[in-house]
Amino acid sequence: MSRRLRRLPAIVLPLLLATTLVACGDDDGSDSGSGSTDALHGITITGDVGKEPEVEWDGELKVDKTATEVVTEGDGEKVAEGDQVSAHIWIGNGTTQEKAYSTYDQKQPESVQASNDLSPVFKDAIIDRTIGSRIAVTATAADAFGEAGNAQMGIGNKDTVLLIVDLMDKQVVLDGPEGKEQPAPSWAPGLITEGDKVTGLDFSKAPEPDRKLQSATLIQGEGDVVKKGQTITVNYLGQVYGGKKPFDESYSSAPASFAIGVGQVVSGWDKTLVGAKVGSRMIIALPPAWGYGKDGNPDAGIKGTDTLYFVVDILAAS
* Whether 138 and 185 share a structural domain: no
How far is residue 182's CA from residue 191's CA, in Å, rounded to a whole number? 13
**pTM of this structure:** 0.67
* Whether 217 and 310 share a structural domain: yes
Of residues 181 and 32, the one with the higher pLDDT is 181
Q: Other C-beta atoms within 10 Å of 313: how many?
A: 28
Of residues 264 and 31, the one with the higher pLDDT is 264
User: Which of 107, 135, 170 marks a domain boundary?
Assistant: 170
> Which residues form the domain of 228?
179-317
What's the pLDDT score for residue 29?
41
For residue 2, name the pLDDT band (cuts at 50, 70, 90): low
How far is residue 17's CA from residue 13's CA, in Å, rounded to a whole number? 6
Average pLDDT over residues 46-72: 95
Non-local (6+) Cβ contacts of 195 within 8 A are none
* Whether 91 and 145 share a structural domain: yes
At 258, the amino acid letter reads: F
* Whether 165 and 188 share a structural domain: no
Number of domains in the chain: 2
* Whether 91 and 134 share a structural domain: yes
* Whether 153 and 232 share a structural domain: no
Element (H, E) at 164: strand 160-171
* Whether 217 and 253 share a structural domain: yes
User: Which of 113, 136, 170 marks a domain boundary?
Assistant: 170
Task: Report pLDDT digits (tens) over 8-29.
Answer: 323 223 323 434 444 433 444 4
SS3 194: strand
Please work out, in degrees rounded to the nearest 5, the angle formed at the alpha carbon of residue 140 by the alpha carbons of 138 and 144.
Answer: 85
What's the pLDDT score for residue 28?
41
* Whether 159 and 16 share a structural domain: yes
CB-based burial, 21-60: b 16+ in 10 Å, e otherwise: bebebeeeebbbeeebeebbbebebeeebeebbebebeee
How far is residue 280's CA from residue 220's CA, in Å, rounded to a whole number? 5
* Whether 20 and 85 share a structural domain: yes
* Whether 155 and 196 share a structural domain: no
* Whether 191 and 155 share a structural domain: no
Mean pLDDT estimate for the chain: 86
What is the CATH classification number for the domain harbouring 209? 3.10.50.40
Of residues 111 and 157, the one with the higher pLDDT is 157
How far is residue 127's CA from residue 115's CA, in Å, rounded to a whole number? 7
Task: Report pLDDT digits (tens) over 113-125.
Answer: 787 777 788 888 9
User: Which of 170, 201, 228 marks a domain boundary?
Assistant: 170
* Whether 229 and 149 share a structural domain: no
Of residues 110 and 246, the one with the higher pLDDT is 246
Task: Report pLDDT digits (tens) over 210-264.
Answer: 999 999 999 999 999 999 988 889 999 999 999 999 999 999 988 888 889 988 8
**Start-end of H helices in 22-119:** 103-106
Res. 309: pLDDT tops 70: yes
How far is residue 110's CA from residue 167's CA, in Å, rounded to a whole number? 10
For residue 37, name the pLDDT band (cuts at 50, 70, 90): very low
